[in-house]
Amino acid sequence: MHWRTTVTYEINTLIPGRTFVEAPRWHENRVWFSELHTCSVMSAREDGSDLRVEAIVPAQPSGLAWLPDGRLLVASMQDRTLLRREADGSMVVHADLSGHVNGFCNEVIVDRYGRAYVGDFGFDLDNRAPMAPGSLHRIDPDGRITEVATDLWFPNGCVLTEDNVFLVNETFGNRISAFDLTDDGRLINHRVWAEFGPLPSTTEFAEAQAEFLVCPDGMCVDAEGALWIADLGSEKLLRLREGGEVIDEIVPGMMPFSSVIGGEDGHTMFICAAPDFDQEERRITTEARILTTRVSVGMATGTMEPAA
């Protein structure tokens, strides 16, 4: 792919000294994020002050979302559960997905009816097991768990648009998939929103890496309907139109894993970044950080908060 950007983005460090950060959210005038190796969900003001620990998730937190009544949901990766923070701050199991998924739980997004949608890796990435497609499961308010999408190559960042299009990055599939979300919570009309290359031709992770042309991790959508994706391959944030045309890029100087647009005026991008994806190195160092930059096209209104 070839593109050109005429914008120079100034990158600033908002919160330094973290282990590995993911899943940024702008919620109630604060930036929220998960820090995997301290097992913490944290939040801070727009200027980085008043840094708080919002929840402790011993099996590593990932995606964050909120129920319509304001209660926080956290994807607990290693034990494959979805946790809920109650009004008194206690953490309880919202759904146990361990009997439904084949890899760590990853992302979560909630629709207007309080139904949560959770993605899973599909295979044991940490131990480099043979690659296999992951899935999306819906958790209804009554606790019922239903598989709603399959054959997704490492489903990752998600967003639900105001016209009920569910978008999901496939990090190891060279693509972004789209579904229509029905009133009764089904994901239908699976189609490719953007394609960067073919699906992997091998299930051996080490061999497949050479086939990953774009590795979309987290995503967010802006007011023009364009997606910002964190591309692990180029270590850039890419702004895309439907079909995959790259219309802008941000070079943060570190590997970006996800971003969200928010801030008081809706034009601040918060970026989760680290030197690399080496989790053993990230576990013992504090080189990850939350970065910020300013974008001309602000946050979308009417969308559900993204899962990155």
What are 158-192's pLDDT values in tens digits? 999 999 999 999 999 999 999 999 999 999 999 99
Asked, for residue 1, whether it belongs to a domain, the answer is: no
The model's pTM is: 0.94
- The model's confidence at residue 306, banded by pLDDT at 50, 70 and 90, is very low
pLDDT for 5 equals 56
Q: How far apart are CA 100 and CA 186, in angstroms?
A: 17
- Domain count for the chain, please give it: 1
Kindly report, residue by residue over 111-154, the tens digit of the pLDDT: 999 999 999 999 888 778 899 999 999 999 999 999 999 999 99
Residue 54 lies in a domain: yes
Question: What's the rounded mean pLDDT across residues 68-88?
Answer: 97
Rounded distance between C-alpha atoms, residue 252 and residue 8, angstroms: 11
**Assigned domain for 302 exists:** no
290: CATH:
2.120.10.30
CA distance 102 to 97: 10
Give domain status of residue 131, yes or no.
yes
Tell me the backbone φ, ψ of residue 129, rounded to 5 degrees.
Answer: -70, 165
Range of the structural domain that residue 248 is part of: 12-294
Is 59 within a domain?
yes
Residue 6 belongs to some domain of the structure: no
State the maximum Cα–Cα separation within the chain, in Å, rounded to a whole number.
51
% of the chain at pLDDT higher than 90? 85
Write down the pLDDT at residue 2: 46
Question: In this structure, is residue 30 part of a structural domain?
Answer: yes
pLDDT score, position 301: 79
